[in-house]
């Protein structure tokens, strides 16, 4: 029972989401959710038995076809046609980890009893999640406004025995997997296709995945910056709490405190310095890293609200006897937040690359390019090129997607969020940041060896000892691509307690 997460109206936090993923918990619908789902479906069936007037998406066409009335005899076919016709995704396949989050978040959103889906439909999504039956979804096709229509159509296709899934180690037709489990395709009822396709679960899943990684790499940015500071023989004064309490941004204070703790007991930081000040990329670590932390905190709040929301249309309110068509599927809150997050992550990479540049510049007693016998050895000359290239790409990717909009559906959907594009490029920035920080770690760990026999703090020495088991000191030129890859693997495998 401990390894089951029950879908309910209880707030789903990012921390809970991380726990579900990391502990590989199974999902189950709570009694509360089952009651809400069945109550709403019964209400809708009763309503449609006598309904003569049009209700958008239930007995009408979709988008600009909203004024076309559909007979009750064709309501099930209408929903099936919707799912098939909207499965127009293209591009790269969505990573499996994100697809799994999409399943979870779609189950959560449909469980509140405002969407009118059948219990069997949601239960089948739970079955997909619990058995790692992952629909093949593509990362291009959503405008992030009428919900993530194309990606969610691909998510929904296997419910009706269509499309493809990744299961048991390879990609295969969904109907074959349904047969293996003895599952009959779902006969979608009125509104169900629309409930499945309307929603922000593509954007939300990307955002949650990126945030969980961003929190970890925000921490790594501090740790690696501290190692760089030691390698550069930097000063401790910029992290004095007095400076930060007179400009009390939360992230700035948190970063300064962490840097102080990371460097506590270091012989290197305690030795007399020849220089009065450090360059901004070292001296302003609390201000720059802190601003990114504050951005991550803001974006977390946006996504916490979103993943505990109903985002399909129309919404059904059983107690009020109302079915209301609105716009909860519009991704504007997420688009703006994802663009903000992209900029914040890009900046962590930008300042990291600058520290790498300082470390290889032959300053403060360090050899040029951090290698003995420079000239014969190029040392760490070219990893900085790589970091600079990636940091520059991040700046290009950080151009906001949310400022764009393209009219669709014959003008009915005349403003869109482009939140899906914001989501996919934010993931690219996150992955790029991981590479930039890995390169800084390579340089910082190399530089600190030239400060021996002095030691850094106990924590940093422990961290470096673990790292050196994967990536040894560079005595003479070797293929550094492998060191970069090993550094990335090391960071990904290093366990971090993210609780502040």
Tokens of 273: 């310095």
User: What is residue 500's predicted lDDT score, i.e. its pLDDT?
Assistant: 47
Element (H, E) at 475: none
Q: What share of the chain is helix, strand, coil (3-state, %, to 5)?
A: 60, 5, 35
Cα-trace Rg, the chain: 26
The pLDDT tens digits of the residues spanning 344-388 come to 999 999 999 999 999 999 999 999 999 988 889 999 999 999 999
Nearest one of 257, 237, 226 to 458, comparing CA atoms? 226
User: What is residue 147's predicted lDDT score, i.e. its pLDDT?
Assistant: 86
The rounded distance, in Å, linking the Cα atoms of 266 and 458 is 8
User: What is residue 285's predicted lDDT score, i.e. its pLDDT?
Assistant: 98
Topology given in CATH for the domain delimited by 4-199: Fumarase C; Chain B, domain 1 (1.10.275)
Is the predicted pLDDT of residue 336 greater than 80, yes or no?
Answer: yes
Is residue 298 part of the annotated active site? The answer reads no
Q: How many CB atoms lie within 10 A of CB 175?
A: 17
pLDDT > 70: percent of the chain: 97
Is the predicted pLDDT of residue 458 greater than 90, yes or no?
Answer: yes
The rounded distance, in Å, linking the Cα atoms of 91 and 118 is 32
Helices vs strands, H then E, count in the chain: 19, 9
Regarding predicted confidence, which is higher, 47 or 220?
220
Instruction: Give the global pTM.
Output: 0.95
Is the predicted pLDDT of residue 160 greater than 50, yes or no?
Answer: yes
User: What is residue 375's predicted lDDT score, i.e. its pLDDT?
Assistant: 85
Element (H, E) at 453: none
Is the predicted pLDDT of residue 167 greater than 80, yes or no?
Answer: yes
The active-site residue, picked from 6, 43, 56, 219, is: 56
User: What is residue 471's predicted lDDT score, i.e. its pLDDT?
Assistant: 97
Mean pLDDT across the chain: 94
Is the predicted pLDDT of residue 499 greater than 60, yes or no?
Answer: no
Domain 4-199 and domain 206-493, same fold? Reply is no
- Confidence category of residue 65, pLDDT binned at 50, 70, 90: low
**Cα-Cα-Cα-Cα dihedral of 107, 109, 112, 113, to 10°?**
-90
Distance of CA 150 to the CA centre of its chain: 19
User: What is residue 351's predicted lDDT score, i.e. its pLDDT?
Assistant: 98
Q: Can you give the residue ranges of every domain in the chain?
A: 4-199, 206-493
Strands 4-7 and 26-29, by their bridges, are: parallel
CB 437, CB 350: distance < 8 Å:
no
Q: How many CB atoms lie within 10 A of CB 425?
A: 21
Tokens 């366990």, residue located:
495
CB 233, CB 454: distance < 8 Å:
no
Q: Per-residue DSSP letters for 330-346?
A: --HHHHHHHHHHHHHHH
Mean pLDDT for 106-131 is 97
The rounded distance, in Å, linking the Cα atoms of 403 and 285 is 30
CB 374, CB 367: distance < 8 Å:
yes
The rounded distance, in Å, linking the Cα atoms of 260 and 283 is 13
**CATH class, range 206-493:** mainly alpha
The rounded distance, in Å, linking the Cα atoms of 91 and 49 is 42
User: What is residue 380's predicted lDDT score, i.e. its pLDDT?
Assistant: 95
The pLDDT tens digits of the residues spanning 83-108 come to 999 999 999 999 999 999 999 999 99
User: What is residue 70's predicted lDDT score, i.e. its pLDDT?
Assistant: 67
The rounded distance, in Å, linking the Cα atoms of 12 and 143 is 26
Regarding predicted confidence, which is higher, 274 or 58?
274
The rounded distance, in Å, linking the Cα atoms of 146 and 452 is 60
- Confidence category of residue 289, pLDDT binned at 50, 70, 90: very high
Tokens of 96: 């499996």
């Amino acid at each position: 029972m401990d390894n089951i997460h029950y879908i309910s109206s209880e707030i789903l936090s990012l921390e809970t989401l991380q726990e579900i993923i990391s502990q590989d918990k199974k999902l189950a619908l709570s009694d509360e959710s089952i009651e809400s789902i069945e109550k709403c479906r019964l209400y809708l069936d009763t309503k449609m038995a006598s309904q003569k007037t049009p209700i958008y998406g239930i007995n009408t066409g979709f988008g600009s076809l909203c004024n076309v009335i559909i007979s009750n005899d064709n309501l099930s076919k209408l929903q099936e046609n919707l799912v098939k016709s909207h499965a127009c995704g293209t591009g790269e396949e969505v990573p499996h980890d994100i697809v799994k989050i999409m399943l979870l978040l779609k189950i959560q959103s449909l469980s509140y009893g405002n969407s009118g889906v059948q219990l069997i439909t949601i239960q089948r999504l739970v079955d997909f999640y619990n058995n790692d039956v992952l629909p093949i979804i593509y990362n291009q096709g959503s405008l992030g406004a009428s919900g993530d229509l194309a990606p969610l159509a691909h998510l929904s296709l296997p419910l009706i025995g269509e499309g493809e899934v990744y299961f048991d180690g390879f990609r295969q037709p969904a109907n074959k997997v349904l047969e293996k489990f003895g599952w009959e395709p779902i006969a979608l009822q009125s509104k169900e296709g629309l409930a499945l396709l309307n929603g922000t679960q593509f954007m939300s899943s990307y955002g949650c995945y990126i945030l969980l990684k961003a929190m970890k790499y925000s921490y790594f940015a501090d740790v690696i910056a501290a190692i760089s500071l030691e390698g550069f023989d930097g000063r401790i004064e910029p992290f004095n709490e007095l400076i930060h309490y007179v400009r009390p941004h939360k992230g700035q204070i948190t970063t300064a405190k962490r840097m102080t703790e990371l460097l506590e007991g270091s012989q290197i930081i305690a030795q007399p310095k020849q220089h009065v000040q450090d360059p901004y990329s070292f001296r302003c670590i609390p201000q720059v890293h802190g601003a990114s932390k504050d951005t991550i905190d803001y974006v977390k709040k946006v996504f916490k609200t979103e993943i505990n929301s109903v985002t399909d249309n129309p919404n059904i309110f059983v107690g009020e006897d109302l079915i209301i068509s609105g716009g909860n599927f519009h991704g504007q809150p997420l688009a703006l937040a994802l663009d903000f997050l992209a900029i914040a992550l890009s900046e962590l990479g930008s300042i990291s690359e600058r520290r790498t540049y300082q470390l290889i510049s032959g300053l403060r007693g360090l050899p040029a390019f951090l290698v003995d016998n420079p000239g014969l050895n190029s040392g760490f000359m070219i990893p900085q090129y790589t970091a600079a290239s990636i940091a520059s790409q991040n700046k290009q990717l950080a151009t906001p997607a949310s400022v764009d909009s393209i009219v669709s559906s014959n003008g009915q959907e005349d403003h869109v969020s482009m939140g899906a594009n914001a989501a996919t490029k934010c993931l690219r920035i996150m992955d790029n940041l991981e590479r930039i920080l890995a390169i800084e770690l390579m340089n910082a760990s190399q530089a600190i060896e030239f400060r021996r026999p002095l030691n850094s703090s106990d924590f940093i020495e422990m961290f470096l000892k673990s790292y050196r088991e994967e990536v040894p000191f560079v005595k003479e030129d070797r293929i550094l691509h492998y060191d970069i890859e090993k550094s990335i693997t090391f960071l990904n495998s290093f366990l971090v307690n993210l609780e502040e």
